[in-house]
Amino acid sequence: MRTWYNMKAVADGAAEILIYDEIGAWGITANQFVQDLRGLGAVSRIDVRINSPGGEVFDGLAIYNALSKHAAEIVVTIDGIAASIASVIAMAGKDIIMPENAMMMIHDPSGGVWGTAADMRRIADALDKGKQAIISAYRRCGLADESLSQLMTDETWFSATDALEKGFCTKVEKPVKMSACFDLANLDRFRHPPAALVAALARTSALPPLESSMTDTATGGGQTPPTNQQTTSLPPGGGGQTEALPADPASIARDCLAAGLPELTPSLITAKATSAIVTARLQDAKTIKDICARAGIADQAAGLITNGATVDSARAVAFEALAARDQASHVDSTQNTPPGTNPKPRGPLNAATVYDRFNNPVRGV
pLDDT band at 9 (very low <50, low <70, confident <90, very high): very high
Three-state SS at 292: helix
* Cα(149)–Cα(103) distance, integer angstroms: 19
pLDDT band at 60 (very low <50, low <70, confident <90, very high): very high
* Cα(33)–Cα(28) distance, integer angstroms: 8
pLDDT at 49: 97
Catalytic residue among 84, 87, 251, 267: 84
pLDDT of residue 65 exceeding 50 = yes
**Cβ atoms 127, 111 nearer than 8 A:** yes
How high does pLDDT run on average in the chain? 79
Pairing of strands 103-106, 156-159: antiparallel
pLDDT of residue 342 exceeding 70 = no
pLDDT at 322: 81
* Cα(209)–Cα(212) distance, integer angstroms: 5
pLDDT at 204: 55
**Cβ atoms 244, 268 nearer than 8 A:** no
Alpha helices in the chain (DSSP H): 30-39, 57-69, 85-90, 117-138, 145-153, 160-166, 195-204, 249-258, 265-270, 275-294, 301-306, 311-328, 351-359
End-to-end Cα spacing for the chain: 68
User: What sign results for the dihedral spanned by CA atoms 123, 128, 133, 138?
Assistant: positive
Taken as a whole, the chain contains a residue count of 365
Residue scoring higher pLDDT (47 or 299): 47
Residue 40 to residues 82, 95, 141: CA-CA distances in angstroms? 24, 21, 29
Q: Which tens digit of pLDDT belongs to each residue from 311-328?
A: 998 888 888 888 887 766
Three-state SS at 332: coil
- Please state the three-class secondary structure of 246-260 as a single string: CCCHHHHHHHHHHCC
Determine the average pLDDT of the residues in 34-59. 94
Closest-CA residue to 249 (of 232, 272, 231): 272
Q: Which tens digit of pLDDT belongs to each residue from 75-120?
A: 999 998 999 999 999 999 999 999 999 999 999 998 877 889 999 9
Q: What letter does residue 167 receive in the DSSP assignment? A: T
* pTM of the predicted model as reported, rounded to 2 decimal places: 0.62
* Cα(93)–Cα(76) distance, integer angstroms: 5
**Cβ atoms 349, 320 nearer than 8 A:** no
Determine the average pLDDT of the residues in 274-292. 91
Contacts of 347 (CB under 8 A, 6+ apart): none
Rg (CA), the chain: 28
84 is catalytic: yes
* Cα(315)–Cα(351) distance, integer angstroms: 13
Closest-CA residue to 198 (of 213, 183, 209, 211): 183
192 is catalytic: no
- Please state the three-class secondary structure of 100-119 as a single string: CCCEEEECCCCCCCCCCHHH
Q: Domains plus CATH for the chain?
A: 5-182 (3.90.226.10)
Amino acid 290 reads: D
Highest mean pLDDT among 153-162, 225-234, 333-342: 153-162
What is the number of alpha carbons within 13 Å of residue 236 lying toward its C-beta?
0
Catalytic residue among 52, 87, 107, 251: 107
